Amino acid sequence: MTFASEEKTEETLPLYIETRRSQGRETFVAERVGQVLGFASYDQFRGGDGYVHAMEHTIILAPESQGQGAGRALMQAIEGHAREAGAHVMVAGVSAENATGIGFHAAIGYEETGRMPQVGRKFDRWLDLVLMQKLL
């Protein structure tokens, strides 16, 4: 689950991708036989030049695509791209309710570095955020 309330659409995705690309970041899409399985992207973790080597990613998979390797392939792609661009660390911000997402990140080498109670809000509920990171 993403904490964003507005869905990304065919109309808004091109600007989302172009904005990241203009900063040297990238977005990757996994597909099989023309069907989109998911996407992953990354951007700088926080603003300011002290964070230029710390990135945060977004990965979203269709529920029916989970457990088939698409997520791992997407993460390898963004981690490789970020590493080649000079990134030192990749951060994951995962809803504490998303045990599958936390487990996925742990399985690919991310370590939990913090929990932030009730920092997100979606669907009229307060949500906890789990921060995880991986040195690239």
Enter the pTM of the model: 0.90
In which element (H, E) is residue 105 found?
helix 99-107
Q: Tell me the residue type at 107.
A: A
Query: Is there a contact between 66 and 82 (Cβ–Cβ < 8 Å)?
Result: no
pLDDT mean over 47-52: 95
* Residue ranges of domains in the chain: 13-135
Q: Which of 6-15, 26-35, 65-74, 97-106 has the lowest mean pLDDT?
A: 6-15
Query: Mind listing the pLDDT tens digit for each residue in 50-69?
Result: 999 999 999 999 988 888 99
pLDDT over 70 (residue 3): no
Is pLDDT above 90 for 71?
A: yes
Calculate the average pLDDT of the chain: 92
Q: Encode pLDDT of 97-130 as tens digits.
A: 999 999 999 999 999 999 999 999 988 999 999 9
% helix, strand, coil for the chain, step of 5: 30, 40, 30
CATH superfamily for domain 13-135: Gcn5-related N-acetyltransferase (GNAT) (3.40.630.30)
Tokens 């309330």 found at = 5
Please state the rounded mean pLDDT for residues 17-33: 92
